Structure 1
Amino acid sequence: MIHLRRAQRFILSARPFFQSPSCHLAMLNLFRAAAVVLSFCAAASFGAPQTIALANGEWPPLLGEHLPNHGFGSQIVSRAFALKQIQVNYQFYPWKRALEEARSGRVAGTLLWSSNADRQKDFLISQPVYRSKTMLFFNRSRPIDWQQLRDLKGKNIGVTNGYSYGETFNGLINNRTLLADQANTDEQNFAKLLANRIDAFPCEEIIGMHIIRSEFNPEALQRINISPKPVHEEPMYLLISRRHPNAEQLLHSFNAGLAQMKRNGELDAILKKAFQR
């Protein structure tokens, strides 16, 4: 009873302080400070995008360090992630190192790659980003008509060192059904084609058209044609390193963003620009 009376006397004596203007100002400043802290916390939790690094390479116009948006392929990957509040920073390397940087987990993943059993061991494979088509380019002055690759028997076909043109095509070269004329770059093979030093040259369609436009005079576009049937085609993927701590979440977010781009037409719009001849 004595303690209760003491408490009542303390409250009554303190009442003037809590009712004073200085107390109201102090309490108001306290609430304002708390609101600022909470707003920063909310931004950090919900508003600020997550940032990841991806290993990239040179494959213009789809991929490239100095291309607008780092190329059409990079633009697709960036946009798909951005739709899920994930920002992408690209680190550019030679292709072999790009794959190793991602495999080791030093970056979250890498683009754009085909899928095989070896890569599936170390990476989660996304939904297809782009379907690559290797087409047969030829000089209009020496047209080529073929239905199966074996129909090209005896033709002098340009190939670029280090490139694969699909299992069937590579097999025909290895058993000498097709005559391979090797060059170090795609540009060299297109120069040979324009000079009629080779009969045909297989090259990824978008890449080939970009090379002709950027490396040769406008007349080259009129002199080179493309067979309507692909030599080889395969989907290209984003690879997410299994060593990344959020690998599953990143894959899910990317696939969801890519699906959204398909639904709203953004994906088709980007690829249409890439395919313009």
Structure 2
Amino acid sequence: MPASLLRVFFLALGLLGPQAWAQEPVAAPLRVVGFVYPPFMYPDERNVPAGPMVEVVAEALRRMGQPARIELLPLARALRQVESGEAVAMFTVKKTAQREAQYVFSSEPLLMQEYVIFVAQDSTLAFRGDLGVLAMSSIGVVGATSYGAIFDAAAQQGVFKKLEISSSHEANFRKLLAGRMDAIVCSRAVGVEILKQLQATGRVKISGPPIETTQSYLMFNKAAATPQLVAGFDHAIRGMRQQGLLGTGRKARPGGAN
């Protein structure tokens, strides 16, 4: 290149300034938490978060170009961390009036699941849709958990006289198997998976129809999440759903979605 052209070239670089050659800033990783909830989310053999819901959230964030660190914690701890802002968001969480007053939810649901009544195989307890029949039965639930509007409303109205609160669904099933409670309310898919892990599938049955089919979402800390972040996540989930990549328990397809 002639010297005169070289001078013009380097002059142009000087006029543009160093910012013209700087890389686009990389967004700081978001801390997103979930909880152990097989078969939807669980630690794999390397103790790395795995499962369909982990893959869905990770893929949505990847499509947004948003780095993130996903962790699975005990349920109560995950709730505390998203409340304090130590974590920006938590999945999968049902909407309630109390939570919507405190947090921001994605508009697009991540998970739909049926909540049912599990009882011992030889139980005569027969649920046919009326929660009143459970009024005097000892019923296992997990603390700080919503079971859908129908069950939650009945609990708030004092329909159930013997609710027994445990720290996990597995703990409830162990109590049911030991004859220490009459029934458990749980997601059908989660209950079936836990019974497989406990090798107790034949010892427990589902009584009656589902109480309700619920939807669960990504829940954001209001102060930590921008409107753009929430809208971007919804856009990514909507696109995955339109592509048929979003399901509720099937093995994830290539690319990190399911």
Q: Same fold (TM over 0.5)?
A: yes
Gaps of 5+ in 1: 1-17
The alignment partner of 2:64 has SS state of coil
The alignment partner of 2:98 has SS state of helix
Question: Offset of 1:248 from its aligned partner?
Answer: 0.6
- Structure 1 distance, partners of 2:110, 2:38, is 16
Q: What is the 5 A alignment of 1:132-151?
A: 132-142=113-123, 144-150=125-131
Question: Offset of 1:80 from its aligned partner?
Answer: 1.7
Work out whether 1:230 is the aligned partner of 2:215.
Answer: no
**Which residue of structure 1 aligns with residue 236 of structure 2?**
257
Structure number with greater Rg is 1
Q: Could you say if the C-alpha distance between residues 182 and 24 of structure 1 is closer, same or farther in structure 2, counting changes exceeding 3 Å?
A: closer
Kept in 1, the 8 Å contact 2:103–2:222? The answer is yes
Work out whether 1:119 is the aligned partner of 2:96.
Answer: no
Kept in 2, the 8 Å contact 1:56–1:98? The answer is yes
**Which residue of structure 1 aligns with residue 250 of structure 2?**
272
**Which residue of structure 2 aligns with residue 170 of structure 1?**
155
The alignment partner of 1:128 has SS state of coil
**Which residue of structure 2 aligns with residue 203 of structure 1?**
186
Deviation readout 1:117-140 (Å, 9 max, x if unpaired): 333233221122112432112333
Q: How many pairs align?
A: 244
Q: Could you say if the C-alpha distance between residues 34 and 72 of structure 1 is closer, same or farther in structure 2, counting changes exceeding 3 Å?
A: farther
Question: Offset of 1:76 from its aligned partner?
Answer: 1.4
Work out whether 1:248 is the aligned partner of 2:256.
Answer: no
Letter of the aligned partner of 1:200 in structure 2? A
Letter of the aligned partner of 1:74 in structure 2? V
**Which residue of structure 2 aligns with residue 74 of structure 1?**
54
Kept in 2, the 8 Å contact 1:57–1:65? The answer is no
- Structure 1 distance, partners of 2:177, 2:82, is 39
Question: Offset of 1:103 from its aligned partner?
Answer: 3.6
Kept in 1, the 8 Å contact 2:141–2:184? The answer is no
Kept in 2, the 8 Å contact 1:156–1:181? The answer is no
Letter of the aligned partner of 1:186 in structure 2? H
Kept in 2, the 8 Å contact 1:134–1:232? The answer is yes
- Structure 2 distance, partners of 1:65, 1:206, is 17
**Which residue of structure 2 aligns with residue 7 of structure 1?**
none
Range 25-34 or range 180-189, more displaced = 25-34
The percent of aligned pairs where both chains have the same amino acid is 20
Kept in 2, the 8 Å contact 1:103–1:243? The answer is no
Q: Could you say if the C-alpha distance between residues 241 and 168 of structure 1 is closer, same or farther in structure 2, counting changes exceeding 3 Å?
A: closer
- Structure 1 distance, partners of 2:101, 2:163, is 33
Q: Could you say if the C-alpha distance between residues 228 and 68 of structure 1 is closer, same or farther in structure 2, counting changes exceeding 3 Å?
A: farther
Kept in 1, the 8 Å contact 2:35–2:72? The answer is yes
The alignment partner of 1:266 has SS state of coil
- Structure 1 distance, partners of 2:35, 2:2, is 68
Q: Could you say if the C-alpha distance between residues 90 and 192 of structure 1 is closer, same or farther in structure 2, counting changes exceeding 3 Å?
A: closer
**Which residue of structure 2 aligns with residue 54 of structure 1?**
32
Question: Offset of 1:262 from its aligned partner?
Answer: 0.9
TM-score in terms of structure 2 length: 0.72
CA RMSD after TM alignment: 3.9
- Structure 1 distance, partners of 2:162, 2:78, is 32
Question: Offset of 1:264 from its aligned partner?
Answer: 0.9
Q: Could you say if the C-alpha distance between residues 40 and 54 of structure 1 is closer, same or farther in structure 2, counting changes exceeding 3 Å?
A: farther
TM-score in terms of structure 1 length: 0.68
